[in-house]
Amino acid sequence: MRILHILNDVTDRGNGIVNTAVDLAIEQARQGHVVAVVSAGEGYEDLLQRKGVLHLQLNQSRRPDRLLRSLCEFRRYIAGFRPDVVHAHMRTGLLLAWFWRRFCRFALVAQVHNVHDRESLMMGLADRVIAVSHSVAKTMEGQGIAGSRIQTVLNRTLCTPRLPPLAEVRPAALSRPAIVTVCGMNHRKGISELLDAFEIAGERFPKVHLYLVGNGPQRNLFEQQARASRWCDRIHFEGFQIEPRAWMLSADIFVLASRRESFGLVLIEAREAGCAIVATEVDGIAEALDDGQAGFLVPPRNPEALADAFCALLESEEQRKEWKARARQGIESFHLSIMAAEVQQVYEDLLRQRQFAGWPAKRSPISVETKSGSPAGDREFRPGSLSSPHTHAGRPTAAPGRRR
């Protein structure tokens, strides 16, 4: 099967949507499919190429002139790659694919990653909508998308190709006991409530430290809030980290205090690291924690409840050990290969239903251009000979074949 993923970019700076899409594309290629990713780049291009996934450069800026150019360039990619399925992960790509879906023969699948975003309803333009949790599916159905067109596939990141094996990660040197969060620094992640909760717990436990790993648009506001705390010398903003699991491995408690969270991919990483987890019971978080069996669930926007959970775990090493063990139980169900298999089933059901299958065996080639833009001759797309126009600043790049 030929699968074309489209995203705004493939940044390697901690974007959960990108991480999920990159993992999925690489696993699909490993399983023998012909896979390409269309995006503006900015991070994972080399990894994709090494793993047998073609990356096609496309700037999807929303300026009217740029969008028109993107529309034309995307049509050229469709004509060259001839996908059976276009899988859109973000709104702009969904709209580009939806426009050409009326003229070209492919199945259009949209994946809803951010249910809190009001514009996520536009993903309903696709032939099939993948929800990353049952909670997201219920929300989308409540907004008017027919339940028969929605299928739930939980986010799964275990054995991701983006990161080295956990056994190779060296734990970070933290002051103990340590409470750790890994998330974007924005209000949706509940950072303000987390800092308020630490103000309460910090009084009962004068040696406890709080580590916040990540960057975001409201980081300055949270740093101001932290500076006003009595325990400001025990609050540490660590910024973005390429290997956040190093902090998880050293954590006495891992916390995700989100106000809204479609799933919480970071919770799977925390479970794999064997953290005692405290998280808010909102949207799909409970599904990432086996309905509270793998983590301590508290109400959202409730600093007192967060502080009570922290204190209960900090004062009992036995409880911490129990919750660490519970985090690891059943973690194998979040293996990346399971997510890919479930997505594949969505594709096959849709193709069978809409009779999109049966492409000619011979495909149109993808034109390869040199750095100067002059044609370098047409090459048929093959998993072991990956070349595309405008890849790596216009330089045609070949990648080795898929490794099994």
Q: CA–CA distance from 235 to each of 76, 96, 174, 229, 362 (Å)?
A: 51, 44, 12, 9, 60
pTM for the model:
0.88
Say if residue 288 is exposed, middle or buried (CB neighbours under 10 Å; 0-12, 13-18, 19+): buried
Query: Which of 173-187, 289-303, 347-361 shows the lowest mean pLDDT across its residues?
Result: 347-361
Taking domain 2-156+335-379, whether its CATH number is 3.90.700.10 is answered by: no
As a whole number, mean pLDDT of residues 372-397 equals 37
Residue in 107, 157, 113, 168 with CA at minimum distance from that of residue 136: 113
Taking domain 166-334, whether its CATH number is 3.40.50.300 is answered by: no
Sheet containing strand 253-256, edge to edge, reads: 235-239, 209-213, 178-182, 253-256, 277-280, 296-298
Looking at residue 385, its pLDDT comes to 38
For the stretch 32-86, pLDDT in tens is 999 999 999 999 999 999 999 999 999 998 888 888 999 999 999 999 999 999 9
For the stretch 209-254, pLDDT in tens is 999 999 999 999 999 999 999 999 999 999 999 999 999 999 999 9
Fold match flag (2-156+335-379 vs 166-334): yes
Domain boundaries, the chain: 2-156+335-379, 166-334
Looking at residue 66, its pLDDT comes to 85
How would you classify residue 386: left for phi > 0, otherwise alpha for psi between -120 and 50, otherwise beta?
Answer: beta
Amino acid in position 394: G
Looking at residue 65, its pLDDT comes to 81
Asked if pLDDT for residue 123 goes beyond 90, the answer is yes
Looking at residue 118, its pLDDT comes to 75
CA angle 399, 48, 381 (to 5 degrees): 50
Looking at residue 369, its pLDDT comes to 38
Pairing of strands 366-369, 375-379: antiparallel
Q: How far apart are CA 327 and CA 316, in angstroms?
A: 17
DSSP code string of 71-97: HHHHHHHHHHH--SEEEE-SHHHHHHH
Mean residue pLDDT of the chain comes to 89
Coil, strand or helix at 235: strand
Residues near 22 by beta carbon (within 8 Å), at least 6 away in sequence: 10, 37, 44, 47, 48, 162
Asked if pLDDT for residue 352 goes beyond 50, the answer is yes
